[in-house]
Structure formats: C-alpha cells, structure tokens
Amino acid sequence: MAQELHVLDRRDIQRICSGQSVVDLATAVKELVENALDAGATQIEVKLKEFGRDAFEVSDNGVGVAPENYAFLARKHYTSKISSFEDIETVASFGFRGEALSSICELAKSFTVCTRTKDETVGVLLEYDASGKVVKETKKARPVGTTVIVEELFKPLVVRYKDFQRNIKKHYAKLLKVLQAYAVSCSNVKISVFNITGKNASRHVVLATQAHQTMGENVASVFGTKFFKTLLRVDFELKGSLKAEAEDKDDRSDDANSDSEHKSSVMDNEHNEHILNGQQRMVEGFVSK
C-alpha cells in the first residue's frame, strides 16, 4: 500500500533544517568564532567543558549586541550583514544568512548570551528557548563584547546526541584543526582555547596566540618555532575572474596519520587573501619545503 504524503510539523522542519546548518561541534564553534571576528574582536576566548561534550562558550571583545537586537539575535534569517540577495556579491563578512545562532539555539539544551555595547553601562544576560525567543533577561557586569554559552549540543536529537557523546574525541580533534586554522590566519587577534575537565574542573590551555601582526608569528605560536622553520613562505598575485574547487583534506580520513602530517595539511590549506580590487588578489601563505 502506498504511503500517504503529509506535511511535517513546523518545529520538526526547523530542527531538520538546523541539523543541516550545524552538523558537528566544529561547525557550531566556527560560527561563533566568525561572529566574533565580524564584530571586530581582537580577543577571542573559547572554553570547552569535557572537550565540548557538556558545554562550550565563545567570548570576545567585539562591539557587542545592541538592545534593539536582543529579540532577533537567535531568530532564523535575521542578519545585519546583508539587506538583499544582491548584497551577496559584495559581502565581506564571514556569515550573512542569519542561520547560525538560530540553528545552534534549536539544537542545544540551553543557549545563553551575555553582551554589552560601549553605549551601555552594564551588560545583560539573555536566555533563549529553542525557538529563539528571549525567556529571561538579567543585568550582568561585563566589559564590552559578547559571550555565547551553549550546553549539551544536539540534546533534542536523540540519535545524533548519543553519537556526539560517544565520539566526542573525534569531534574535538576536528574542532582543534579548525581553531588552529583561524589562529594562524587571523592577524592582530588574540585567540585562546581552553579545555575544562574532571571533577576539579582543571583548566588546560589548548591553543594560544598573542595578537601577532604576521601569519608567520602565528604559525610559530600554534605549531612551534621548530615546525615553522620547515615551511616556505609563498606570496603571489592573482588577476582576473577566479573560480576554484578544493577537496577538504579533513574529509578524506577520520584520523590523522601523524601530528606532522596534520600540521602540514593545515598549513598547505592556510593562506591570507587580500582583495586589492575586483579582479586582483594578493595571496600569502606557507607550504612545506
């Protein structure tokens, strides 16, 4: 007997779409880091609880969220990056679709934002429900900037949540590669990553850069001076209309064969691209000698 077609519940549709936007821990944290960079942050701190299994938070010293945007911050398709589809051709920010925060909010047990702008004398702690609605707002002292706190990612999705909990070390390893790439490529931005584990909540420094001005200094901070000396600097200029497709090396295998191979793959793919004009680009980076 043929199955009858029926429309899905709106909430189920939202969860399915959110699950496509945020597929793993690395994607969720990456979106928050990119939001911090788009906000002009020069200091970004990532805290993971039990490798990100129990919770994670991203704090920055960016411009913060204005009070008039509190209600829309975690709503789908609300964005300050573009006003129309045509803006996509010139958008210079990392994100612009207005889906990241709403998707993370939908897929987490709890989603909290603490923020303050330079125009406010005190910060605010905002708690959101799964639909992106503010359910609690309290004053909280903090410097200018934003902190996003996410607890138990994928909790509403039983099967994915179990898989996430069971394979947290793989998720953590993939996340670390992503954060290393940002730490290397972001000049004049201090990026710190901490993992908090155990009953005593021991805090371990996973990654730290010092807002260096050059990519080379960042490479040395992340991978060490010894490894940096094995790399060759590459600078070149590209002209004309360019289109490129690249295979993500991280998708070729779940496990890195060695630490050195992992470092090389990160560096082979990492570069800074400076757009001089519409048809001319300056690219700088490093490759293994």
Digit-coded pLDDT (tens) for 111-155 = 999 999 999 999 999 999 999 999 999 999 999 999 999 999 999
Where does a domain end: 213, 232, 259? Answer: 213
- Kindly state whether residues 43 and 157 are assigned to the same domain: yes
Cβ–Cβ < 8 Å for 52, 178: no
pLDDT value of position 235: 79
- Kindly state whether residues 234 and 193 are assigned to the same domain: no
* Helices then strands, each counted (H, E), the chain: 8, 11
- Kindly state whether residues 193 and 222 are assigned to the same domain: no
- Kindly state whether residues 97 and 222 are assigned to the same domain: no
Please say if the pLDDT value at position 23 is more than 80. yes
Please say if the pLDDT value at position 161 is more than 90. yes
Q: Which residues contact 250 (CB under 8 A, 6 or more apart)?
A: 174, 177, 265
Where does a domain end: 194, 213, 232? Answer: 213
- Kindly state whether residues 23 and 48 are assigned to the same domain: yes
- Kindly state whether residues 109 and 226 are assigned to the same domain: no
pLDDT value of position 252: 44
- Residue 86 in any domain: the answer is yes
pLDDT value of position 99: 75
pLDDT value of position 100: 84
- Residue 257 in any domain: the answer is no
Report the amino acid identity of residue 192. S
Residue 22's pLDDT band (cuts 50, 70, 90) = confident
The tens digit of pLDDT for each residue in 82-111 reads: 445 555 555 555 654 557 899 999 999 999
In this structure, what DSSP letter does residue 258 have?
-
DSSP string, 29-61: HHHHHHHHHHTT-SEEEEEEETTTTSEEEEEE-
- Kindly state whether residues 74 and 208 are assigned to the same domain: yes
Distance CA 24, CA 207 (A): 20
- Kindly state whether residues 128 and 232 are assigned to the same domain: no
- Residue 251 in any domain: the answer is no
- Residue 117 in any domain: the answer is yes
- Kindly state whether residues 61 and 47 are assigned to the same domain: yes
Q: Which residues contact 179 (CB under 8 A, 6 or more apart)?
A: 29, 33, 46, 191, 193, 206, 207
- Kindly state whether residues 163 and 236 are assigned to the same domain: no
Bigger pLDDT: 238 or 72? 72
How far is the CA of 111 from the CAs of 8, 39, 51, 60, 155, in angstroms? 25, 19, 18, 17, 12
The tens digit of pLDDT for each residue in 170-204 reads: 999 999 999 999 999 898 999 999 999 999 999 99
Most confident range, picked from 163-172, 245-254, 255-264, 277-286: 163-172
Q: Could you tell me whether strands 202-208 and 123-128 are parallel, antiparallel, or unpaired per DSSP bridges?
A: unpaired
The whole domain housing 64 covers 14-213
- Kindly state whether residues 219 and 137 are assigned to the same domain: no
pLDDT value of position 283: 75
- Kindly state whether residues 229 and 201 are assigned to the same domain: no
3-state helix, strand, coil split of the chain in percent (to 5) is 35, 30, 35
Give me the long-range contacts of 138-145 (CB less than 8 A, separation at least 24): 140/114, 142/114, 142/115, 142/116, 143/61, 143/116, 144/61, 144/62, 144/63, 144/64, 144/116, 144/117, 144/118, 145/39, 145/41, 145/59, 145/60, 145/61, 145/62, 145/63, 145/64, 145/115, 145/116
